[in-house]
Structures are given as structure tokens and as C-alpha cells.
């Protein structure tokens, strides 16, 4: 997919990086009992609209898809999402580590202390984010089964159904089967691919979360959303096949 005018459009685009924020999430109030004889029928409240960060998603328990967790500060504040890919290593969006104080990786309801992290060498050029990904070394091996990485030979298919899992809005959630599909990769940015937020969108806190295919393979890491004239129009994901060599080399270095 070509974008010959990509550079000229950049001045009109607002790139919103998915820094974590945790809004208050309320549950439905219990229904009122029927009125007694002589009492007036209570006025029914209008049904609340589904929050934007939950449209096209279902809520998950912490024990569901346990390899996908979140990064937190020492005080427990959510920074972003992350995915366990090795007993000692998790992968996330680079901007979730850059300038952040990630102390814990919490997955499957279990606390894992962060020892160190490594950003991709092309994470940022100047002030521009490029390959928005980083690896986290855990102080102790996790007992959770890691998510299987996509092979280097993996090919994406136009409009193939894919699934997003992360902590957008501060809650663990998974996209419905018909919410997202692979839309395409631009020539200018071969390290990422696009999803269209037609039926739902990734949200603040989803950064670093998982994009999996129908076989459960980890094929991408959630990076950002794009806004133009106050409208969401694109979700960006870091492609993983092109990064396998770097991931494997970095795993070998930081684990030895």
C-alpha cells in the first residue's frame, strides 16, 4: 500500500501514543424491586452507552490469556500492557519503557519484578518514534506459559481476522472476532501494519498489548492510534516477523 503524500500529510495528523490511563469503570447497578401496591412505578434510567474503550471488546479475567499482562510503577500505577514471550522476558511498546518507571510486570494475577529493559536500536530517530518496541528482563522466571512468537516466514493476508488483547481503559479486554482485521502495511513503514477502528479501537493502556492471529500466534504489538480532526481513523501495530532476529539475539544477551 503506497502513500506518496505521507510526508505532506504528517503536519495534519495528530499522533496519539497510548500512554496508560485508568478511568473509573462502573458495573451495572442491580435492578430495583417491583413497586408495592399504592407506590408509583420508578422512572427507569436510560441505559448507559458502552464506553469507547470497550466497544468491540469483551472483558477478561486475569487468569484468561495469562501471558498478556501489564506494566506498573512501584506504587502500582498502570503504565501499559506487555506480553510474556520467554519465562524471563516480556515484550511491550517502547514508549511504555522510555522515561517510565516500570517496576512490575503483572500477568495471570502474579507479580513479576522488572530487572532491566532494552529498546530496539531504531526505537527512535531524533524525536520521532520508529520501531516502537522493547524487551523486559524479569528478575525471576515466570511460571506462566509464554505466548508463542510468529515465525520469520509468516505472511499477513489482507483482511485476515486478528485479535487485540490489552489493558485499554485500565481493564483487561479482548477484541471480538469481527472487530479487527489486517488492513495493510505502507512502503514507508514496513515494520508496522494498520488496523481500522471501524467497530472498535485500541485505547490508552493497550500499548504493548498483543495482536494474535486465529492460531493464537503473537504476530504484533499494539503501538498507537491516530486521530485526524478529532476522529479515530487508524490503529498501528508493530510487525514481529521482521524483528525475530533482534528478539532472539537480545534474549541471548540479556539472559546470559
Q: What is the pLDDT of residue 95?
A: 97
CA angle 229, 230, 234 (to 5 degrees): 90
8 Å CB contact between 158 and 1: no
68-146+243-254 classified as CATH 2.40.10.10: yes
Cβ-based neighbours of 141, under 8 Å, separated by 6 or more? 87, 88
Q: What is the mean pLDDT of residues 35-43?
A: 48
Phi, psi angles (nearest 5°) of residue 192? -135, 165
Q: What is the pLDDT of residue 48?
A: 66
Q: What is the pLDDT of residue 92?
A: 98
55-60+150-240 and 68-146+243-254 have identical folds: yes
- The CATH number of 55-60+150-240 is 2.40.10.10
**Model pLDDT for residues 120-171, shown as the tens digit of each residue:** 999 999 999 999 999 999 999 999 999 999 999 999 999 999 999 999 999 9
Cβ-based neighbours of 193, under 8 Å, separated by 6 or more? 156, 182, 183, 184, 185, 220, 236, 237, 239
Cell numbers at residue 163, please?
485479535
Q: What is the pLDDT of residue 148?
A: 97
CA proximity to 30, closest of 40, 52, 45: 45
Identify the burial level of 59 via C-beta atoms within 10 angstroms of its C-beta, where 0-12 means exposed, 13-18 middle and 19 or more buried. exposed
Q: What is the pLDDT of residue 253?
A: 86
User: Mean of the per-residue pLDDT values for the chain?
Assistant: 85
Q: What are the boundaries of each domain within the chain?
A: 55-60+150-240, 68-146+243-254
Q: What is the pLDDT of residue 50?
A: 87
CA angle 107, 109, 113 (to 5 degrees): 55
Q: What is the pLDDT of residue 227?
A: 86
pTM of the predicted model, to two decimals? 0.82
Q: In the 8-state DSSP scheme, what is residue 149?
A: B
Q: In degrees to the nearest 10, what's the CA dihedral of 111, 114, 119, 124?
A: 80
Question: How many residues would you count in the chain?
Answer: 256
Please report where in the chains the cell 522510555 appears, as a residue: 98
**Model pLDDT for residues 165-187, shown as the tens digit of each residue:** 999 999 999 999 999 999 999 99
8 Å CB contact between 95 and 17: yes
Please name the helix (run of DSSP H) or strand (run of DSSP E) that holds residue 244, with its range, or none.
helix 244-254
**Model pLDDT for residues 98-117, shown as the tens digit of each residue:** 999 999 999 999 999 999 99
Please report where in the chains the cell 504489538 appears, as a residue: 221
8 Å CB contact between 238 and 164: no
**Model pLDDT for residues 224-248, shown as the tens digit of each residue:** 999 888 788 899 999 999 999 999 9
Please report where in the chains the cell 513503514 appears, as a residue: 189
Q: Where is pLDDT greater, at 52 or 200?
A: 200
Confidence of residue 29 (pLDDT cuts 50, 70, 90): very low
Q: What is the mean pLDDT of residues 54-80?
A: 96
Q: What is the pLDDT of residue 231?
A: 85
Amino acid at each position: 500500500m503506497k502513500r506518496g503524500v505521507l510526508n505532506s500529510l504528517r503536519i495534519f495528523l495528530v499522533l496519539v501514543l497510548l500512554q496508560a490511563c485508568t478511568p473509573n469503570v462502573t458495573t451495572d447497578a442491580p435492578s430495583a424491586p417491583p413497586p408495592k401496591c399504592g407506590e408509583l412505578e420508578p422512572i427507569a434510567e436510560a441505559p448507559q452507552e458502552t464506553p469507547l474503550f470497550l466497544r468491540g471488546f469483551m472483558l477478561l479475567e486475569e487468569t484468561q490469556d495469562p501471558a498478556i499482562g501489564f506494566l506498573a510503577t512501584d506504587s502500582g500505577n498502570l503504565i501499559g500492557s506487555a506480553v510474556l514471550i520467554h519465562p524471563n522476558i516480556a515484550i511491550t511498546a517502547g514508549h511504555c519503557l522510555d522515561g517510565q518507571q516500570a517496576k512490575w510486570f503483572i500477568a495471570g494475577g502474579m507479580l513479576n519484578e522488572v530487572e532491566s529493559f532494552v529498546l530496539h536500536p531504531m526505537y527512535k530517530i531524533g524525536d520521532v518514534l520508529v520501531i516502537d518496541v522493547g524487551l523486559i528482563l524479569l528478575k525471576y522466571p515466570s511460571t506462566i506459559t509464554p505466548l508463542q512468537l510468529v515465525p520469520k516466514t509468516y505472511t499477513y493476508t489482507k483482511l485476515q481476522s486478528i485479535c487485540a488483547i490489552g489493558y485499554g481503559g485500565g481493564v483487561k479486554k479482548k477484541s471480538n472476532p469481527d472487530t479487527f482485521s489486517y488492513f495493510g502495511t505502507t512502503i514507508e513503514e514496513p515494520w508496522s501494519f494498520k488496523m481500522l477502528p471501524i467497530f472498535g479501537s485500541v485505547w490508552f493502556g493497550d500499548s504493548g498489548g498483543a495482536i494474535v492471529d486465529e492460531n493464537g500466534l503473537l504476530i504484533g504489538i499494539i503501538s498507537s492510534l491516530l486521530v485526524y480532526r478529532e476522529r479515530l481513523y487508524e490503529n498501528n501495530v508493530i510487525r514481529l516477523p521482521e524483528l525475530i532476529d533482534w528478539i532472539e539475539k537480545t534474549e541471548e544477551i540479556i539472559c546470559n
